[in-house]
Structure 1
Amino acid sequence: MRRDTFLKSMAVMAAAGALPLTARASVNLKMMIPANPGGGWDGTGRALGKALIDAKLAETVQYDNKGGAAGVIGLAQFVNSSKGDPNALMVMGAVMLGGIITGKPAISLDKATPIARLTSEYNVFVVPADSPFKTMKDVVAQMQKDPGSVKWGGGSRGSTEHICASMLATKVNVDPKKVNYVAFRGGGEATAAILGGNVSVGGSGYSEFAEYIAAGKMRPIGVTSEKRLPGINIPTMKEQGYDVVLGNWRGVYGAPGITAEQRAALTDLIVKVSKTKGWAEALEKNGWTPALLTGKAFDDFVDSDFASLRGIMHLSGMLS
Structure 2
Amino acid sequence: MNKKIGMRFGIVLASVALIASGTVAAHGAAVPKGKAAAGLQCAAAGLVSAGRGVEGSDLTCITATLGTAKDSKVWGYKDLKPLTSIEFVSSSAIGGGYGTTAIAVGDALKAEGLLGSYTVKYFSNAPLGVGYFQGEKNRKDMLLITGFAMPGGLALNKSTLDMTNAKPVAAFLREAEVIAVPTASKLKTINDLLAVIKANPKTAIGGGNLGGVDHVTIATIAATIGVAATDLNYVAYSGGATLTPDLLAGRVVAGVAGTSEWSKYVSAGTMRLLAVTSPKPLTVVKGKTLIQQNINLTFGNWRGMLAPADLPAAEYLNMLKVIDTAHGSASWKAMLTAKSWIDEYRAGTAFTTWLKPEVAAILKILKDFKLY
Q: TM-score range by the shorter chain?
A: 0.7 to 0.9
Tell me if structure 1 keeps the 8 A contact 2:176–2:341.
Answer: no
SS across alignment from 2:187: coil
Counterpart for residue 77 of structure 1: 132
TM-superposed deviation, 1:244: 3.7
Counterpart for residue 12 of structure 1: none
Counterpart of 1:75 in structure 2: which amino acid?
V
Distance across 2 between alignment mates of 1:243 and 1:275: 33
Counterpart for residue 164 of structure 2: 110
Q: Relative to structure 2, which stretch is displaced further, 274-283 or 71-80?
A: 274-283
Counterpart for residue 258 of structure 1: 311
| 2:112 is the alignment partner of 1:59 | no
Tell me if structure 2 keeps the 8 A contact 1:123–1:203.
Answer: yes
Counterpart for residue 279 of structure 1: 332
Q: How does 1:146-295 map to 2 (within 5 A)?
A: 146-148=200-202, 150-229=203-282, 233-295=286-348
Tell me if structure 1 keeps the 8 A contact 2:179–2:256.
Answer: yes
TM-superposed deviation, 1:286: 1.0
SS across alignment from 1:119: strand
Question: Which runs of 5 or more residues in structure 2 are unaligned?
Answer: 1-77
Q: Relative to structure 2, which stretch is displaced further, 96-105 or 261-270?
A: 96-105
TM-superposed deviation, 1:22: 4.3
Counterpart of 1:79 in structure 2: which amino acid?
Q
Tell me if structure 2 keeps the 8 A contact 1:161–1:203.
Answer: yes
- Cα distance change on mapping 1:138 and 1:289 into 2, 3 Å: same
Structure 1 residues 215-242: Cα deviation after superposition (integer angstroms, max 9, x where no partner): 2211111122333335755222234233
SS across alignment from 2:156: helix
Tell me which protein shows more helix as a share of its residues.
Answer: 1
Question: Which runs of 5 or more residues in structure 1 are unaligned?
Answer: 1-19
Counterpart of 1:61 in structure 2: which amino acid?
Y
Q: Quick one: which of 82, 86, 99 aligns to 1:42?
A: 99
TM-superposed deviation, 1:198: 1.7
Q: TM-score, normalised by structure 1?
A: 0.85
- Cα distance change on mapping 1:101 and 1:113 into 2, 3 Å: same
Instruction: Note the aligned Cα RMSD (angstroms).
Output: 2.1
Distance across 2 between alignment mates of 1:314 and 1:62: 36
Distance across 2 between alignment mates of 1:194 and 1:145: 20
Counterpart for residue 315 of structure 1: 368
Q: Relative to structure 2, which stretch is displaced further, 37-46 or 186-195?
A: 186-195
SS across alignment from 1:152: strand
TM-superposed deviation, 1:74: 0.5
SS across alignment from 2:345: strand
Structure 1 residues 187-236: Cα deviation after superposition (integer angstroms, max 9, x where no partner): 21112222222211111111211121122211111122333335755222
Aligned length: 295
Tell me if structure 2 keeps the 8 A contact 1:34–1:73.
Answer: yes
Q: Quick one: which of 141, 147, 166 aligns to 1:93?
A: 147
Tell me if structure 2 keeps the 8 A contact 1:21–1:27.
Answer: no
